[in-house]
Chain A
Amino acid sequence: SQQGEEDPQALSIQEGENATMNCSYKTSINNLQWYRQNSGRGLVHLILIRSNEREKHSGRLRVTLDTSKKSSSLLITASRAADTASYFCATALYNQGGKLIFGQGTELSVKP
């Protein structure tokens, strides 16, 4: 079964608004990563947060991690139409090498 559960499954916002996506997981992790996918093909890595980190920023992206609640959130500020894509959280488990367990994803639509 999937490790990560994401919500919402779909999100539609206007350009300039912020978008928040949430991810929950079940077992202890080494790190959690967020990826973006356009048009159902290759994934692009966005940001990695380690289990001992609580918050991380990269440009317009802000990721938080709460290991006590086993949850993470991805915030995209000042969204643009080009941010329209599917966003996936993925967890790397302890002693499992580098393999990732993906959530079901959030489909984000940013309307101009």
Chain B
Amino acid sequence: GAGVSQSPSNKVTEKGKDVELRCDPISGHTALYWYRQSLGQGLEFLIYFQGNSAPDKSGLPSDRFSAERTGGSVSTLTIQRTQQEDSAVYLCASSVPSGQGYEQYFGPGTRLTVT
């Protein structure tokens, strides 16, 4: 079946603009995660959705970042008033139900460049 997909694959935006990044998880995977990868910070956890539970937002770096997951499937990560330090590859992953102790399947990522 299809893997995790993300769109767009690349996004260039001007400082101060808002951006939306989309993630389509593997069908049937109720756990969904967002991470970002940058040269200076490595791979960082951002937010985690599990079923109908309240999301774990502990990794979001500022209140400019938010994410939602509609219908338990597709997720959108929104960055408001983008800054140059937001430039990174944003990776989405999903895993089988329960999420605890299970391997995560990653999408190809969205490379965000803020100019």
Please tell me which one of the listed residues B31, B44, B91 contacts residue A43 in the complex, with CB atoms under 8 A apart.
B91
- For A41, the chain B residues whose CB sits under 8 A away are 89, 108-109
A105 engages B42 (CB within 8 Å): yes
- For A45, the chain B residues whose CB sits under 8 A away are 103-106
> Which segment, of A12-20, A63-71, A75-83, A93-101, faces chain B?
A93-101
A97 engages B105 (CB within 8 Å): no
A-B contact pairs, 11 of them (CB 8 A): A30-B100, A33-B104, A41-B109, A42-B108, A48-B103, A92-B100, A92-B101, A98-B104, A99-B33, A102-B42, A102-B44
Please tell me which one of the listed residues A35, A40, A98, A104 contacts residue B101 in the complex, with CB atoms under 8 A apart.
A98
- For B12, the chain A residues whose CB sits under 8 A away are none
A97 engages B99 (CB within 8 Å): yes
Q: Considering the complex, which residues of chain B in the window 48-85 have a beta carbon less than 8 Å from any beta carbon of chain A?
A: 48, 50, 56, 59
What's the tally of chain B residues with a CB closer than 8 Å to chain A?
29
A2 engages B106 (CB within 8 Å): no
| Known A30-B100, A105-B42; 8 more pairs at CB < 8 Å | A33-B103, A33-B104, A45-B103, A48-B102, A92-B100, A97-B100, A99-B48, A105-B43
